[in-house]
Amino acid sequence: MAKQTGIIKLKGTIGDISFYKSGDGHLARAKGGIDGKRIASDPAFQRTRENGSEFGKAGKAGKLLRIAIRTLLQRAKDKRLVGRLTAALLKIIKTDTTNARGLRTVQDGVVSMLKNFEFNINAKLASTLFASYVSTFDRVSGDGKLNISKFIPTSAIVGPTGTTHYRISLCTAELDFENETFTSEIDETGIVPYDSVETANIEITTSTNANSLLPIVQVVSIEFYQEVNGEMYPLKNGSYNAMAVTLAEKV
């Protein structure tokens, strides 16, 4: 592919060249490819069909997770999140040893591989929150918890310049990738001062279905605010907010 330069940017097709806009700017590429009907029926493209099927499942699984954590995701994400998440889920699908190639699923893969996935590559939770914390889930009760040991905010949290307040949140999501359904709940600290005063121990709790047999994913996020005349404003439009998967498991 080639990048378009100059004042006038084109969209559409001229001859065998397609012009389009992407996250990388205005690009151009030559038309081509194999007829879709042949890919769908020719035995020579069996592997292509299998790969396409599993890629589609990864895409749907990613969409389900994004919807389940949508409230927090609106506060912390990067422009390439969809592609990065799809790639991570496709790796999980490939660990499924139960189903045949082309029929493998996220649900039967090693779901724990999703742990530590960062939703905002420009502000990682791993390099933002240094307080000691643990994320847990009790399948019998359906309770999810985030326990954070007492800490000094300005020492244990790397906030962008101008930060006056922050908020830490936990979302626990029960995900049925096969039927594309979910149950999720969010709890959070509230917006609290970003200062040098040591906090108490913090416990954030959520609740989903008891005795669940479905995959569980927990995400933790931290958001930054600036107080101006008594009003709280998301700092730098949330570009420094961080969120990551802290627990991913199945029965």
User: Cβ atoms within 10 A of the Cβ of 103, count?
Assistant: 14
- DSSP class of residue 67 equals H
pLDDT, residue 30, reads 61
Q: Is the pLDDT of residue 109 over 60?
A: yes
Four-residue CA torsion sign, 129, 133, 138, 141: negative
Every domain of the chain and the residues it spans: 1-32, 36-249
The tens digit of pLDDT for each residue in 130-154 reads 999 999 999 999 999 999 999 999 9
The tens digit of pLDDT for each residue in 190-228 reads 999 999 999 999 999 999 999 999 999 999 999 999 999
The tens digit of pLDDT for each residue in 51-63 reads 788 999 999 999 9
- DSSP class of residue 190 equals -
Report whether 152 contacts 196 (CB < 8 A): yes
